[in-house]
Chain A
Amino acid sequence: MNKLLRVKMGKTPSWSVEEMDAYAGMGGRNLTSKIIATEVPADCHALGPENKLVIAPGLLSGSAAAISGRLSVGCKSPLTGGIKESNAGGQAAQTMARLGYGAIVLEGEPEAGDLFKLVITKDEVKLEKADDLKGLGNYAVIDKLRVLHGEKAAYMSIGQAGEMKMASASIACTDMELHPTRHCGRGGVGAVMAAKGLKAIVFDDEGCGMRQPVDPEAFKAANKVFTKGLQNHSVTGQALPAYGTNVLANIINEAGGYPTNNFTTGQFPGVGRISGETQAELEEKRGGKATHGCHRGCVIQCSGIYNDKDGKYLTKQPEYETIWAHGANCGINDLDTIARLDRMDDDFGLDTIEMGATIAVAMEAGLAKFGDGEAAIRMVQEVGDGTPLGRILGAGCAVTAKALGIEKAPVVKGQAMPAYDPRPIQGIGVTYATSTQGADHTAGYAIATNILKVGGFVDPLKPQGQAELSRNLQIATAAIDSTGMCLFIAFAVLDQPETFQALIDLINAFYGLSLTADDVTALGKSVLTIERDFNKKAGFTKEDDRLPRYFRREKLAPHNVVFTVPDEELDEVFNW
């Protein structure tokens, strides 16, 4: 991964392959954020020629390291106005890394109306007109591309939402079956790809071998320990493979933190009909799969295949956030309706969290009743069709709330909150408020606090400040996001020190380094510092690190609580 592919759009689009130079040794979120912060004026318009879209596999992507197939996409976000890193699984990271590219940087602006595809093979790069792909959804795009470029390539693409430059547009990555189901979903990255005039990227790694480590024996040994740690852990070895992420639905509902009907209550009476346990049973009964990987080399296998009532493929197993967003948050308790919405989101190229939150706001505004699944489907169809209402909905939750005269838009920095209400679970609210990314449940996901000892050892017997913990979690997450590892490794890393050590050993053996846990901490801090600095230059202040006021005013049942973490504590999160 020593090459950087720079694609310059303009009257005469061109591309060049450069050395990684100042960006050498970086990967994933660390690399995307570094390039954006270095090369993009923070005050530019996200859809203008000064913004760039950076695509980067992780440090270990393309190697034999287990579960190392996450791909990061970075830019200035049209949704939040701040820096964005959005990552996804699928096959793109592995193939791009094997092709030797550490990053692709899309910059400039095409001639009006021009649309291209970028084809990358072992021996060449081609930038070709893609007029035949205009106006197509992701499934149709991949159907066309696979005929031309084969079944072994990996693909990235945008759907109609991206082409219309909607702020909730995603970028799809194909999975092992070449379904465009793995999305860099958050922040409108698909709109930025469209603004660069790119409809699709083809990664054909035929003739490229696996990336080889500097110390093969040490790497093999570390990978064995790492894999065993994941397989032995009760979350990564049992719960996630059996039920996927939606196993969370029941327990979050019991905790009273399952946002229902646009965050108006914390429990959904229909949760049993859409839970992970029910979903897995239904998938297997219809001949789908409840256990499936999103990319080769995944040992957790938290995904699945969702078939319709006739046993035909409909979509991948919708995740917890999707089922909540289109389900409980819209009062919908029918898995088939939710799966249809998931399929539509994947096809149009939309962030499922943003769309679910947006439809819920529209329902609160009276455009439909909570629980009306057909109305939800009609609204998403309007987004794909680009009707006037669809354009508003596609602009996201905050814009929709403003257009429809609704106060209660559950957003931070313009981005919709995910599936955990911050009133009963206040710690997640601290991360929502202070994340550089806008409301984001993955920003503080890596729960390796004690092992990393970031910000000091946390004694489980003593109460700690929520700000300190949130900071530590965000640091650890930023570091893991840079490795290309799926964040779900965090569970095994939390409970099993040897698994965390194996992760560091993997990086060291691959690159011939001698990193320690302190170095990993420093990496996480560095990423967050870069991102905070960019956001500051973009105009963000501490007043942007806040939840909407109504979370401090409106009590949430069943606990009847409001968000109470003081502003002063929120301001301490990044005070290091």
Chain B
Amino acid sequence: MQKHEPGAVPPGFILLESKSTDRTELLFMLQQGVYIPLPETPVPGRVSVTSFLLRVLNLDDETFRDEIKTMMLNNMVVDNPDRTDLKRNDVLIVSGAMPGLVGAMLRSDSPIKVLRSTISGENLKESENSSLVGDESPAFIRLKAFNTVLRNHMDDILRYGVYIGIDDEQTT
């Protein structure tokens, strides 16, 4: 995996600077998703959902378990974030606990997860992530934050800078 150099804007991306105190567009942008470079890890080509979120959300492990109740990867529910690895261009959703029966179903490792087995991500295997190895271009994850995570961790997500796609900027 190629380390991304700060300040280098990859093709297809633009860098936005905002001095406004109105956070409406930032809130909207984080719901739509921002691109975050994958970090270097001790094991080349392996970045778990947990390790990525601990870093991006500036959380310790215990707080992570308490606060992050709902995660989705490419429209599939993540039930085991420790063993689910990220790959280039993945879309990762992070949220607190959601209300409603379906909200409860969608929680990671929900006791009623069988009710949404069609969209359970238990089949996401490490082997699918081989695309992280051997590709020299910067690897990004599109992160979307909802619910209490959006409220509590907006600054954490933004602190190292994020990228948005040109198409996304046009929609905002």
| Interface status of B19 (Cβ within 8 A of chain A) | no
* Least distance between A30 CB and chain B CB atoms (Å): 21
| 62-114 of chain B: CB within 8 A of chain A | 67, 69-70, 72, 75, 77, 93, 95-106, 109-114
| Interface status of B127 (Cβ within 8 A of chain A) | no
Distance A272 CA – B25 CA, assembled complex (angstroms): 11
Given known contacts A277-B31, A558-B75, A252 and B102 CB-to-CB distance under 8 angstroms? yes
| Interface status of B115 (Cβ within 8 A of chain A) | yes
Q: List B contacts of A529 (CB < 8 A).
A: none
| 462-484 of chain A: CB within 8 A of chain B | 463-466, 469-470, 473
| Interface status of B146 (Cβ within 8 A of chain A) | yes
Of chain B, the residue at the smallest CB distance from A270 is B171
Q: List A contacts of B105 (CB < 8 A).
A: 425, 427-428
Of chain B, the residue at the smallest CB distance from A236 is B99
Q: List A contacts of B23 (CB < 8 A).
A: 281
Of chain B, the residue at the smallest CB distance from A426 is B118
- Interface locus among A156-164, A237-245, A304-312, A343-351: A237-245
Instruction: Say yes or no: B24 contacts A285, CB within 8 Å.
Output: yes
| 387-429 of chain A: CB within 8 A of chain B | 420, 423-428
| Interface status of B47 (Cβ within 8 A of chain A) | no
* Least distance between B168 CB and chain A CB atoms (Å): 10
Instruction: Say yes or no: A427 contacts B114, CB within 8 Å.
Output: yes
Of chain B, the residue at the smallest CB distance from A245 is B99
| Interface status of A491 (Cβ within 8 A of chain B) | yes
| Interface status of B58 (Cβ within 8 A of chain A) | no
* Least distance between B167 CB and chain A CB atoms (Å): 11
- Residue from the list A243, A272, A450 in contact with B147, Cβ < 8 A: A243
Distance A80 CA – B70 CA, assembled complex (angstroms): 35
- Residue from the list B72, B104, B112, B117 in contact with A254, Cβ < 8 A: B72
Instruction: Say yes or no: A239 contacts B104, CB within 8 Å.
Output: no
- Interface size on B, as a range, is 35 or more
Given known contacts A254-B93, A281-B27, A494-B104, A247 and B114 CB-to-CB distance under 8 angstroms? no
* Least distance between B22 CB and chain A CB atoms (Å): 9
Q: List A contacts of B93 (CB < 8 A).
A: 250-251, 254
Instruction: Say yes or no: A278 contacts B98, CB within 8 Å.
Output: no
Instruction: Say yes or no: B148 contacts A234, CB within 8 Å.
Output: yes
Given known contacts A425-B102, A425-B105, A278 and B28 CB-to-CB distance under 8 angstroms? yes
Given known contacts A239-B97, A441-B100, A449-B111, A424 and B28 CB-to-CB distance under 8 angstroms? no
Instruction: Say yes or no: A272 contacts B98, CB within 8 Å.
Output: no
Of chain B, the residue at the smallest CB distance from A431 is B101
Instruction: Say yes or no: A458 contacts B111, CB within 8 Å.
Output: yes
* Least distance between B162 CB and chain A CB atoms (Å): 16
Instruction: Say yes or no: B103 contacts A251, CB within 8 Å.
Output: yes
- Residue from the list A277, A447, A488, A561 in contact with B27, Cβ < 8 A: A277
Q: Mark A283-307, 1 if CB is under 8 A from B, else 0.
A: 0010000000000000000100000
Distance A430 CA – B102 CA, assembled complex (angstroms): 12
Q: List B contacts of A447 (CB < 8 A).
A: 101, 104, 112
Of chain A, the residue at the smallest CB distance from B148 is A238
| Interface status of A58 (Cβ within 8 A of chain B) | no
Distance A62 CA – B111 CA, assembled complex (angstroms): 34
| Interface status of A559 (Cβ within 8 A of chain B) | yes
Distance A282 CA – B27 CA, assembled complex (angstroms): 11
- Residue from the list A251, A320, A473 in contact with B146, Cβ < 8 A: A251
| Interface status of B3 (Cβ within 8 A of chain A) | no
Instruction: Say yes or no: A277 contacts B112, CB within 8 Å.
Output: no
- Residue from the list A254, A444, A463, A464 in contact with B101, Cβ < 8 A: A444
Q: Mark B14-50, 1 if CB is under 8 A from A, else 0.
A: 0000000001100110011000000000000000000
- Residue from the list B24, B99, B102 in contact with A235, Cβ < 8 A: B99
Q: Mark A24-49, 1 if CB is under 8 A from B, else 0.
A: 00000000000000000000000000
Q: List B contacts of A207 (CB < 8 A).
A: none
Distance A506 CA – B102 CA, assembled complex (angstroms): 28
Instruction: Say yes or no: A248 contacts B28, CB within 8 Å.
Output: no
Q: List B contacts of A74 (CB < 8 A).
A: none
| Interface status of A373 (Cβ within 8 A of chain B) | no
Which A residues are closer than 8 A to B by beta carbons?
233-235, 238-240, 242-243, 245, 247-248, 250-252, 254-257, 272-273, 275-278, 281-282, 285, 302, 320, 420, 423-428, 430-431, 441, 444-445, 447, 449-450, 458, 460, 463-466, 469-470, 473, 488, 491, 494, 558-559, 561
Which B residues are closer than 8 A to A by beta carbons?
23-24, 27-28, 31-32, 67, 69-70, 72, 75, 77, 93, 95-106, 109-119, 144, 146-148, 150-151
Given contacts A251-B106, A463-B114, A469-B114, 5 further A-B contacts (CB under 8 A): A242-B148, A248-B99, A278-B24, A460-B110, A561-B118
Leading 5 A-B pairs by shortest Cβ distance: A427-B115, A460-B111, A234-B97, A250-B146, A272-B31
Query: Could you pull out 14 A-B pairs where Cβ atoms are within 8 angstroms?
Result: A242-B148, A250-B144, A250-B147, A254-B93, A257-B119, A277-B146, A277-B150, A427-B105, A427-B114, A428-B105, A460-B109, A469-B115, A470-B115, A559-B118
